[in-house]
Structure 1
Amino acid sequence: MTDSLRPHGNNRTPLPPTQQSADGVPSPRSPQSKQAQGDARAASGGAKQRDAFFDNAKYLAIVLVAIGHAWEPIKGDSRTLETMYTVVYTFHMPAFIIISGFFSRSFDASPGRLQRLITGVAVPYIVFETAYPLFKRWIDEDPSQEISLLDPWYLTWFLCALFIWRMTTPIWKMVRWPLPLALGLAMLATVSPEIGDDLDLQRVLQFLPYFVLGLCMKPEHFHMVRTRTMRIAAVPVGAVALAFGWWAVPRMNTAWFYHRDAAQELGAPWWAGPVMVLAMFGCSLLLTACFFAWVPGRHMWFTALGAGTLYGYLLHGFFVKAGDYQGWFEAAWLHRPLGEIFVTVVAAAGVTLLCTPPVQRVFRFAMEPRMEWAFKRDAGRLAREREKREGAAAREKVNA
């Protein structure tokens, strides 16, 4: 989620100037319509203009993440809720990861971008990978809970994965067939249970194709799914997905949607892993396209919250886990339809509040630390600043 998530664009399609957002996914700017294309042209001339579509998509995706986590403790008694949970888990993280990849296209491991990667992704990972186990020790009275930076806990896997994906971006930009290669690695991961839990590499590899797909995409690819025809087509596709989910719930292991286990660990034959990678990649892309088709492209009341999705992603986990540890979800009335609706509304409202500017100001020290003291100043920037000062001094002498 999350997230935690810079420079964008390529030489052919100019995109607005770089600016990293709080959630580790670069600040979204990409033309979507005639008006947005005009904004993009203005941005190429120096103005900084966020694209409402991507902010809206990030916010809505993070709301679905929080709702899915809130559903998890209560879904066992409801086939309807299990169906909705399955459908949501098919596309909410793939959509978020595709956006992350799209805005990572010009990452080149330069000092400035590496610095932003460290402060925007690595540091939040270390902070929350420490905070979550300490929280469990306190609220669950579990002194045995260990702190390990090598074993991502709960939500922090995404930050670990994003760091690895971003660092490998120059490789994916260099190879001739990046997406088939990424799919091949994901397929191999599903037949390799010996990979283990270190750095949650199963998830890193199995979700990798979505990030690489985002790297390969251009603004016009998002335009293609955001037409009236696609919005209309998304309705029957969503209905079919729900119907299939209803059928599949008692017949399919939901753990496939987490992308964290090899086929053998799920009690399936080894060949099922590669098959499921391809099948779920296709299903996820179809539902993600439907999701993007219905994301509004204009400025909405929640658009500004798209810049704070890392805050909502990482902080909502404390409330979900507190409810789990304290038995809040065990109340019988929460397992009835009205209770399920109540949990859904509370989860959506809660993560919305956690994305707001006041929360961002309070937790910015952990999510977006400046840390200028930790890095050497860029020699090129120092030279440019010196030239600017010398030029200003020379002009003053001439004017005098």
Structure 2
Amino acid sequence: MNSQQNPPATTERVAYLDNARYWVMLLVVIGHSLTQFTAMDSARSVYVWIYSFHMPLFILVSGYTAQRYVGNERQVRRLVSTLIVPYLIIETTLQLLMRHYEGSPDPLALLSPQWLGWFLAALFVWRLTTPIWLALRYPITTSIVISLLVGLIEVPNVMALPKILGFLPFFVVGLTMTPERLRSLSRTPVRIASAVVLGGSFIVCYLYSRNWTSDWLLYKARYDEAPLNSTPWEGITQRAELLVIGFVLTFAALTLVPWARSWTSSLGERTFYCYLLHGYVIFLLDQQFGVFEALEGFGAISAVGAILAAIALANLLMLPIVKRIFSPVFEPKLTWFFRRDQVPADESRKTTEESPTQAR
């Protein structure tokens, strides 16, 4: 489990990874769209099921695509232009909107991500520490211990550090994955078993999730603080159970992702923009137009409508035109910002493994 493997040799886009990004992005947008309906059992079951593995899956894929990060000049430039700049834009604008509608945060807390920005901060930290994890003899075991113990102490929400450390094992496992291991998941018996596992887990969530504290799935709160309110031992065992569930469902989902290139591969190349932009749509629909509050009275129909609308929104935000419009904003060249002698000759060449934006 902890054996070190060489990074994938290919530097070309892998349709399998783009397909995985597409499907997990649908889960992200659906999950965020259902947040306002979790008081309803039907919506809550879908929400809990999605949150039990959608971020672990996203993070594991991010770890896999980070294997080639060594901190060279071109990679550092990409980190600045595709993680730091989008983070500052997202956090500044969303926090200003939140302050306008909700009165907080005041003053702005740009180093304490309020919502979407936490994942950008996490990718930045995980990328910078990639060489460390690849150098360790037991990286997976170390990351699991950190994840289990971090809930025992007070960790400030600077750069979403509690979540970064809580979700860390999924990123580290992604670093140790190889194309051969991913291919081994595609065997027919494994796919059948995975479909059963995913279906069975959804049924369990549908039947029992109404009594669960879903905040555990956020990997953020300290064990002994509200709403978790657990003893140290209860917290560690609960976090351990969630890690196991997250890994099982993540690998089950990966087995069902097709390897062949299709329309989902093309859309999956642009999940970066969908991730950054869908939050504005959901936030404004909620705060400015009161859509979610108006729909609550329709019961399960509103949850189904939210899911269908989320799917449509996600697909729209992954269209090529969205990238053309927003790439100058979210992926600026910044040639003026860096010293000229630090601009590599092949700066324009981008690969799946080396581009942070493709880790989303």
TM-score computed with the length of structure 2 as normaliser: 0.89
C-alpha separation in 2, matches of 1:13 and 1:216:
8
- Aligned partner of 1:230: which letter? V
Q: CA 1:294–1:144 in structure 2 vs 1: closer, same or farther (change >3 Å)?
A: closer
Q: Give 3-state SS (helix, strand or coil) of 1:108's partner.
A: coil
CA distance in 2, matches of 1:375, 1:83: 48
CA distance, structure 2, for counterparts of residue 69 and residue 56 of structure 1? 20
Q: Name the residue aligned to 1:220.
A: 180
1:156 has 2:96 as partner:
no
Contact persistence 2:19–2:265 (CA under 8 A): yes
Query: Which sits farther off after the overlay, 144-153 or 355-364?
Result: 144-153
Following superposition, the deviation at residue 273 of structure 1 comes to 2.3
Query: Residues of 1 paired with 2:280 and 2:343: CA distance?
Result: 42
Matched, 1:293 2:255: yes
Structure 2 contact 5–178 (Cα < 8 Å) conserved: no
Q: Is 1:135 matched up with 2:115?
A: no
Query: In the alignment, does 2:47 pair up with 1:85?
Result: yes
In structure 1, runs of 5+ residues without a counterpart are 1-9, 18-48, 383-400
SS for the counterpart of 2:91 is helix
* Secondary structure in structure 1 of the residue aligned to 2:68: coil
The structural deviation recorded for 1:239 is 2.8
Say whether residues 1:175 and 2:169 are aligned partners: no
The alignment status of 1:263 with 2:223, answered yes or no, reads yes
Out of 231, 237, 240, the position equivalent to 2:200 is: 240
Deviation at 1:271, TM superposition (A): 1.6
| Paired residue type of 1:127 | I
Q: 1:108 corresponds to which residue?
A: 70
Question: Is this contact kept in 2: 1:121–1:159, CA < 8 A?
Answer: yes
Tell me, yes or no, if the aligned pair for 2:37 and 2:44 is still in contact at 8 Å: no
The CA deviation at 1:196 is 2.4
Aligned to 2:339: 376
Flag the structure with larger Rg.
1
Q: Residues 363 and 63 from structure 1, CA distance in 2 versus in 1: closer, same or farther, beyond 3 angstroms?
A: same
Within 5 A, what are the aligned runs for 1:22-171? 49-77=12-40, 79-138=41-100, 140=101, 142=103, 145-171=106-132
**What is the RMSD of the two structures over their aligned residues, measured on CA atoms?**
2.0
Among 181, 186, 190, the alignment partner of 1:230 is: 190
Which of the residues 313, 321, 329 maps onto 1:366? Answer: 329
Q: CA deviation at 1:229?
A: 1.2
Which SS does the other structure have where 1:372 is aligned?
coil
Equivalent residue number for residue 15 of structure 1:
9
Report the equivalent of 2:350: none
In the superposition, relative to structure 1, how do residues 144 and 303 fare at CA in structure 2: closer, same or farther (>3 Å)? closer
| Residue identity matched to 2:177 | M
Task: Report the more deviating stretch, 168-177 or 228-237.
Answer: 228-237
Contact 1:311-1:354 within 8 A present in 2 as well = yes
Question: AA paired with 1:264?
Answer: D
Quick one: distance in 2 between partners of 1:261 and 1:204?
Answer: 12
Most deviating of 274-283 and 152-161: 274-283
In structure 2, the residue matched to 1:209 is: 169
Aligned-residue identity in percent: 32
Select 1:188's aligned residue among 141, 149, 161: 149
- 1:220-369 matched pairs, under 5 angstroms: 220-265=180-225, 266-326=228-288, 327-332=290-295, 335-369=298-332
Once the 2 structures are TM-superposed, how far is the Cα of residue 157 of structure 1 from its aligned partner? 0.1
Alpha carbons 2:20, 2:254 under 8 Å: kept: yes
DSSP-derived class of the 2:23 partner: helix
SS at match of 1:369: coil
Contact 2:98 2:105 in 1 (8 A): no
Deviations 1:70-89 (A, max 9, x none): 11101212x22211211111
Residues 36-67 of structure 1 deviation map (CA, whole Å, 9 limit, x = unaligned):
xxxxxxxxxxxxx4211110110110111000
- In the alignment, the residues of structure 1 paired with residue 236 and residue 105 of structure 2 have an alpha-carbon distance, to the nearest angstrom, of 37
Deviation at 1:320, TM superposition (A): 1.1
| Alpha-carbon spacing, 1:213–1:341, altered in 2? closer, same or farther (3 Å) | same
